[in-house]
Chains A and B, each alone.
Chain A
Amino acid sequence: MEHRHLLPDEIDQLLDGEAGFGVAPLQAHVESCAQCRAELAEARQVVSALERLPHLAPSPMFADRIMSQVQVFEPWHVAAIDSVKQWVPASRSARVAGIATTAVVALVVSVAAVWTAVRLDAFLFFFDLAGQRVRVALFDAVGSAIASTFGDAAVTALRVGGITAAVGITGFLALVVLAAVGLRAIFATARRRRT
């Protein structure tokens, strides 16, 4: 190493701070050779100048221009979590109260569900009873409406004719409604043309 100056690659090895076999003799040579020391210093100066180079700034609207062309897609589960988070109270005490209320409601609903499952026969009985009462009330109301509109004969025909009479009456009503809507549309068009 004493008999020659450093090669360019050897200077690069020292610049990169490599610490392998063969670097120690290079360092020893640099300490004893003024020319190689100057060359290494010059190389370090270039590296130092490179490392001091600043980052250049694009124009102020650069980010906005990019964002106007970027598709920001929010997956459904993230949107759902955010929606839920909106309802979570900010304060700790309110959160505790909310959790307690939710727990009580969940407990009541669970007990009700279990009771319903255990006493399914009783539940079905009451459900059927309520259904019957609603049906009777509905038929009475419809019968009264038909009787007051078309007379008792229509109600009798409906009872005798069953489904056929019901379809006939419904069709007739539908035709009346359609005719009314059609006439209204024709009059509206004529009015628009006049104006």
Chain B
Amino acid sequence: MEGCVAPVTDDVFVEGTRHAPRVAETSEGAQEMAPRPETDDAELRREVGAVLRMAEGPVVNANDIDIERRDDETMIINMGPQHPSTHGVLRLMLELDGETVLRTKPVIGYLHTGMEKTAEELTYVQGATNVTRMDYLSPLTNELVFSMATEALLDVEVPPRAVWIRMLMSELQRVSSHLMWMATNGMDLGSTSMMIYGFREREMVLTFFEKTTGLRMNHNYIRPGGVAADLPDGWEDDVEVICETVLARSFEYDELLTGQPIFRQRTEGIGNLSAEEALALSATGPILRSTGVPWDLRRTMPYLAYDELDFDIIVGTYGDNFDRYSIRLNEIRESIKMIRQIAARMPPGDYRIQDRKVTPPPRARIDESMEALIHHFKIFTEGFKVPEGEVYVAIESPRGELGCYLVSDGSSKPYRMHIRGPSFVNLQTVPVLLRGGLIADAVAIISSVDPVMGEVDR
């Protein structure tokens, strides 16, 4: 359109003269223009004042509001369970005074499918298929904790290669889970580019999982007795490409989010939690570490072979949204550091124990050996029997302490299997984090807790 780019009448403007007006012919008539430094005060005031730009914070001062009030002026609103930002089917009942959140009650159970009951009907061989569906963003850690609990009851030790493969997969899983969190958190804060980038990088990890386990999610790869299959040929190259790419891109996220003023204003000082509150509420994982408590089961109570790896525990200071963001971003880098060490030191050998009562014989043996056929048949029809006893095994999932309490009655099915889901417990911090904050920050705070509803409801 002609009116948009206004023709400048050059004959009026003389280069170098200080007050030479520059007149543009617009559809509104002639408009006088001058270089910015020469705009007079009245004109500047008119321009700046015309723009209504005000930070959200000063409009409602959270400190002015009495969060203990119990009169009729408050309003109770319902958020979810179909709300797009609640990461699944989380429902929150919020008590509001204006825009300030007073009390919150999370309502859960919309995704409850009775997985603990189902586990009592499945053999230990089938059990990993069940638990892998709980925390659907880090299925391998679920399989790992169930397998470790079963092995503790069986009192067997898996071969070193299986241990290191498990560790490799756990750390890749942590990278993919944190990338997914970066993506959804970015989306909740309005950064849709971050969402695309997070999913893009996660896809690389999932492709490697597909190559190794056959599936992108719900792998049933880590099983009692070891892992289902050895790593594919050329896995070192695939893993190195993932490490290189994700590490390089994690510094791009720094540019995109960490240094960005809007992102920092929306995360710094929002959703504060003290170390005492976090411990009292049994919070674990990045939430506990964000308050400054260096508690990471990989270091403090090492399992697998984490005591042989060199890595740092990332801790925060203030326990706010920004600390939780930084912890997860830096844990991606720590995990990559670990993955490189694991890839360099991967021991040779069996990828599952050679006890035919626990792991099935190789396919080729079934054609030759009657005994192998019998073992194969027994394992897949009846399963293996686990001695009577009870055990609680805990590992560090991307969300915190993932525990499995397993009771055996000596049969081939768990008598009782209880999963301590970190999301389920961490969700109790949401009312504390939201209290006294603005409703506009609620979505960011829920996101920073990183609940996975499949694990919360089980």
A binds B: no
Seen from chain A, the residues whose Cβ lies within 8 Å of a Cβ on chain B are none
